[in-house]
Structure 1
Amino acid sequence: MRFVDLFAGTGGIRLGFEWACSEQDIKTECVYSCEIDQKACESYELNYEVNPKSDIRDLEVLPQFDFLLAGFPCQAFSYAGKQKGFGDTRGTLFFEVERLLKLYKPSFFLLENVRGLTTHDQGRTFETITTHLIDLGYSVHHLLLNSSNFGVPQNRVRIYILGSRWGSIKTNLYSDPGPADSHKYDANHIQGNLFEQPQKTVLVRDILETDVHQRYYCTEAFVKKLKKVVGNDLSVLHGYRLIDYRGGQSIHSWELGLKGECTRKEIAFMNLLIANRRKKQFGIHQDGKALTVDQIKTFYNNEDLPELLCSLESKGYISCYDGKYNPVAGNMSFEVFKFLDPNRISITLTASDANRLGVVHHGIARRLTPRECARLQGYPDSYQLISDENAVYMQMGNGVSVPVIKAVIEDFFVNNYAHLIKAKQSNLWMNDPATSDVAG
């Protein structure tokens, strides 16, 4: 099975694809890899002994292939981004995938992206993509899958789009976005298929390294501030967020005294402010609205209000603009923004903050290591990580969950064997590698 690996990143889709093919005794050959990010190329070359550095927009002539893999850029459709979609250059890169599908007509493809692709622009973006793929002569089937259902302890929902030129696609997998909250994860709910044994439930504790270097430990000063809030038993931090614009199971900068020590009254007022500023009577802003003094007086009308506002503004915990007060969200100032619960699954890894995910392990508050982040994505320990740790954190936040790719591909092969026979008979795969380029 000859394939191309486009938007290859660090090779996660390739790894899952080759793993699935190996399980089905299908030999593979990657005839071309394409990736534009230099650091990702370093990781790819370290593990596959080929540097994929190239720009898909420059690709004209490729070796013959029959399976196209592409994790095309997701930022344009991501909830974490600005959701510009096809108005964003990264969004239009889908049409480069379409161009190569039209030119080479491979038998099959697998595309991976964020779940926001299905809802962006009220579904019109996804409808456009699907229509274009069908117009090229492909049967198209998509699945919304949560990595936590495939033996990966991460609440990560992605869309997987399969295409075949040889008829309707059958599958034993079903769309399941899983839990909306990592803390509501049901350890007994693991999606499987006919050819796999029930998977072992994997939790955060199962991916933690036993011997972690002290450079990943939280600083003594930060730990001291944490203990001031929760006491000496740091395991209380399991599942806590460190965030300045939400309440709930959270710790805030004013409680830690990151910008200066706060009095009990100041702390209580700040907690009241973030709890009330999200009420519908003040607006429908997701993370709350800036409030006037009169609005604040509806929930705090004590005589010391002017004094509190002045003190908190001088310390930098609130700002005042046009007579309205708002918490200053300094979330990047926290050494750890979320302490994972070892007995649950992780929140979704992202490129921007994977390096600030933490855990309390053996009584020590620390950040996750790059290897632990790789394990959260299902990469085996045999996968080599480059020495640039910040790059690895970003790569794992941008990457795919390898076991999900493996499950999708293997399920496709098992349930669509007739498609493989037709593809083989078409002489588009399993033939002499010395065949000339299609474009030639």
Structure 2
Amino acid sequence: MNASDTHDFTFADLFAGIGGIRRAFEGAGGRCVFTSEWNKFAMETYRANFTKDESRSDHSFVGDITGITPRAVKKHDVLLGGFPCQPFSIAGVSKKNALGRAHGFADPTQGTLFFNVKEIIAAKRPAAFLLENVKNLKSHDRGRTFEIIEDQLRDKLGYHLQSRVVNGKGWTPQNRERILIVGFREPTTFNLNTLDLPAPESGPKVDKILHRKGEPLIPHDAGRYFDPRTGRVDPKYTLTENLWTYLQDYAAKHRAAGNGFGFGLVRPGMTTRTLSARYFKDGSEILIEQRGLRPRRLTPRECARLMGFPDDFIIPVSDTQAYRQFGNSVVVPAIVDVANAMRPHIVSALAASSDRVA
């Protein structure tokens, strides 16, 4: 997917990952002029899907955002960023606690990246921004973490701030709650909390994203994941006997202890748990039931669909890297709806301003 030559606004894509947020805002009339992503494998996927960036003089691509000053960020109308969530996620906090390590803003690396975002907003003063993170950001450290974010963006920088927890289950068959933080530099009638978004209970089921017999062959997948003539998924995605035994024993042990830990076995008419970046390890949170066989993992293409990426999205990396990338991404159609709702307010703000980026 590439931006057209005409656009209504420009944007910077920070912590860009594989470009899920970018796809949504390009579809809403935006043009990306600045991208930052530090992971080389995510950059490979991003570049494979936004190929014209390399020859565009109005686009800059940098790696680690901490390695440049806010002044070096290209001027833009809208700032977008899914800043790293591990310091605030439930799983991330539990892991860090177990290891005796800091989390949240006490994390000496990832936790400080919000402040890089804040400094860029302060330096560039975009007309609007959208930030995305895990639901737990709002309750982390008894709400103090989110209070700091609000204080920095609203009280220190003067942006009109709104936030809302959105569940991707309204668009794809996955229970995935994320917080969206929207800010406008000037007063606006935009209201994130009253947007009419699909209800989670009315969303599609997992059969909509699974490979099936007769499915059109995706040229850039080259039969990598399944055989469309038979509908048979490559056997390598079926759990080994040892792994399946281990997962069952692990779940039984935790059930006996009164804990809720265990694998997530999914049938076609169900929805899945949240796809995580650790999915490559054992696939335990989302296992597809197979009649007469052990369960299997989703293929990377099915993960792409679970996140709302269309089949023309190119997956140039290994399965391990693809699982990490989709587990870290956004539910694209959810961001599409929010981007489309923000668009007229962005355009209106730029029309009333003298500093629109051409």
Pairwise TM-score range, normalised by the shorter structure: 0.7 to 0.9
CA distance in 2, matches of 1:146, 1:243: 29
Q: Is 1:76–2:87 an aligned residue pair?
A: yes
Runs of 4+ in 1 over 6 A off after TM superposition: none
Q: Structure 1's 123 and 102: CA in aligned 2 closer, same or farther, altered over 3 A?
A: same
Structure whose CA Rg is larger = 1
Q: Is 1:389–2:319 an aligned residue pair?
A: yes
Q: Which runs of 5+ in 2 are unaligned?
A: 1-8, 55-60, 97-102, 213-230
**Does the 8 Å CA contact 2:163/2:193 hold for their aligned counterparts?**
no
Q: Which amino acid is 1:30 matched to?
A: C
SS of 2:139's partner is helix
Cα distance per residue 1:137-166 (max 9 Å; x no partner): 2100001010002x2110000000000012
Q: Which amino acid is 1:144 matched to?
A: V
Q: Which amino acid is 1:358 matched to?
A: L
- Counterpart of 1:35 (choices 34, 37, 48) is 37
CA distance in 1, matches of 2:189, 2:84: 25
Q: Which amino acid is 1:78 matched to?
A: S
- Counterpart of 1:412 (choices 317, 338, 342) is 342
Deviation at 1:107, TM superposition (A): 0.4
Deviation at 1:340, TM superposition (A): 1.5
Matched residue, 1:148: 169
**Does the 8 Å CA contact 2:14/2:79 hold for their aligned counterparts?**
yes
Deviation at 1:57, TM superposition (A): 1.3
SS of 1:112's partner is strand
**Equivalent residue runs for 1:212-231 within 5 Å:** 212-219=233-240, 221=241
Q: CA RMSD in A?
A: 2.8
**Equivalent residue runs for 1:86-101 within 5 Å:** 86-88=105-107, 89-101=109-121
CA distance in 2, matches of 1:122, 1:87: 14
SS of 1:166's partner is coil
Deviation at 1:217, TM superposition (A): 2.6
Q: Which amino acid is 1:353 matched to?
A: Y
Deviation at 1:53, TM superposition (A): 4.5
**Does the 8 Å CA contact 1:141/1:162 hold for their aligned counterparts?**
yes
**Does the 8 Å CA contact 2:162/2:191 hold for their aligned counterparts?**
no
TM-score by length of 2: 0.78
- Counterpart of 1:374 (choices 287, 292, 304) is 304
Matched residue, 2:221: none
**Equivalent residue runs for 1:270-289 within 5 Å:** 274-275=255-256, 277-278=257-258
Cα distance per residue 1:298-334 (max 9 Å; x no partner): xxxxxxxxxxxxxxxxxxxxxxxxxxxxxxx9x8xxx
Query: How many residues matched?
Result: 308
Deviation at 1:65, TM superposition (A): 0.7
Q: Is 1:59–2:68 an aligned residue pair?
A: yes
Of 62-71 and 361-370, more deviation after overlay is shown by 361-370
Q: Which runs of 5+ in 1 are unaligned?
A: 177-188, 193-198, 227-240, 247-251, 253-269, 279-285, 288-328, 332-336, 432-440
Cα distance per residue 1:10-67 (max 9 Å; x no partner): 1111012222x1xxxx3x3211100001110111011012474511112231222100
Matched residue, 2:287: 358
Deviation at 1:350, TM superposition (A): 0.6
Percentage of identical aligned residues: 37
Deviation at 1:214, TM superposition (A): 2.3
Q: Is 1:422–2:349 an aligned residue pair?
A: yes
Deviation at 1:341, TM superposition (A): 2.4
Q: Which amino acid is 1:345 matched to?
A: T
Matched residue, 1:17: 25
**Equivalent residue runs for 1:4-403 within 5 Å:** 4-19=12-27, 21=28, 26=29, 28-49=30-51, 50=53, 52-60=61-69, 61-82=72-93, 84-88=103-107, 89-134=109-154, 135-149=156-170, 151-171=171-191, 173-174=193-194, 190-191=198-199, 201-210=203-212, 211=231, 212-219=233-240, 221=241, 242=247, 244=249, 246=251, 252=252, 274-275=255-256, 277-278=257-258, 337-353=263-279, 356=283, 357-361=286-290, 363-364=292-293, 365-403=295-333
Deviation at 1:80, TM superposition (A): 0.7
CA distance in 2, matches of 1:200, 1:124: 34
TM-score by length of 1: 0.64
**Does the 8 Å CA contact 1:242/1:338 hold for their aligned counterparts?**
no
Q: Structure 1's 161 and 144: CA in aligned 2 closer, same or farther, altered over 3 A?
A: same
**Does the 8 Å CA contact 2:131/2:181 hold for their aligned counterparts?**
yes
**Does the 8 Å CA contact 2:73/2:120 hold for their aligned counterparts?**
no
Cα distance per residue 1:355-409 (max 9 Å; x no partner): 6132124654322100001111001111100231100001111111101111111
**Does the 8 Å CA contact 2:300/2:322 hold for their aligned counterparts?**
yes
